[in-house]
Structure 1
């Protein structure tokens, strides 16, 4: 099992933001958490709106807490609102059900962290997260758990 390094987290953030600029997306905030949901790296672009750091962290935290990306979290929350409202309350609001939260897996398939991005549409946020993770040679997992 490997761990998420600061160097890898910094690459994820920088590559995700570079992708956003290539695509002319709105200003983003990118948060990278380790497997224990501890913040490793965060950047908020100039012009990113209020609450973007909190939303990015909540997307990544939700992915880690549930074991699947925040796109799937949103799908499940829409299908079972009562249950997911309870989860959001239990977590103290630490989960955001919108695309942009992506798990990071090492070569063995172990979850070593997550990326959360906020600032543009959920699809755009997720695309930048995928680009950032792939740039490190790690595996991006926006979908369902493998078990």
Structure 2
């Protein structure tokens, strides 16, 4: 399994931002983490809020930590809120179990990393993440 490259991460960030502009979304922040949770690339559009980089990274970090896309995490959080409260505490607040966090998989379904997007609705954030990962020739997993 090849690790997620800086070029791939940069492509995902730029493609997500481009998709957001195509859809006329609010300003976005996009963060890409490698399989170990380290930040590889992040961009924040002008007008994207102060907390958006932290939120985008929490969306990505949460899906990596749990091995599920943000949509699946949101569904689980809805049925087990006490568990996700505990996860939030254990992780130091680094988990945001909502759509907009997408696992990045290779052709063999290995997890290479994750992308998290914040700035518009979680559903729109996820739309941009899915399109960006696919445009990089990788497989998105939103859960």
TM range (shorter): over 0.9
- Within a 5 Å distance, the mapping from 1:56-67 to structure 2 comes to 56-67=56-67
TM-score by length of 1: 0.96
Structure 1 residue 98 displacement after superposition: 1.4
> 2:114 matched to 1:134?
no
Of residues 70-79 and 34-43 in structure 1, the stretch that sits farther from structure 2 once superposed is 70-79
- Gaps (5+ residues) in structure 2? none
In structure 2, C-alpha distance between the alignment counterparts of 1:63 and 1:35, rounded to whole Å:
10
Q: Which residue of structure 2 lines up, in the alignment, with residue 7 of structure 1?
A: 7
In structure 1, C-alpha distance between the alignment counterparts of 2:137 and 2:45, rounded to whole Å:
24
Structure 1 residue 116 displacement after superposition: 0.1
Q: Which residue of structure 1 lines up, in the alignment, with residue 83 of structure 2?
A: 83
- Gaps (5+ residues) in structure 1? none
In structure 1, C-alpha distance between the alignment counterparts of 2:34 and 2:48, rounded to whole Å:
23
Q: Which residue of structure 2 lines up, in the alignment, with residue 26 of structure 1?
A: 26
Encode CA deviations 1:84-138: one digit per residue, 9 max, x unaligned. 1111100111000211000000111100000000000000000000111011101
In structure 2, C-alpha distance between the alignment counterparts of 1:132 and 1:53, rounded to whole Å:
18
In structure 1, C-alpha distance between the alignment counterparts of 2:85 and 2:122, rounded to whole Å:
20
Structure 1 segments (4+ residues) deviating >6 Å: none
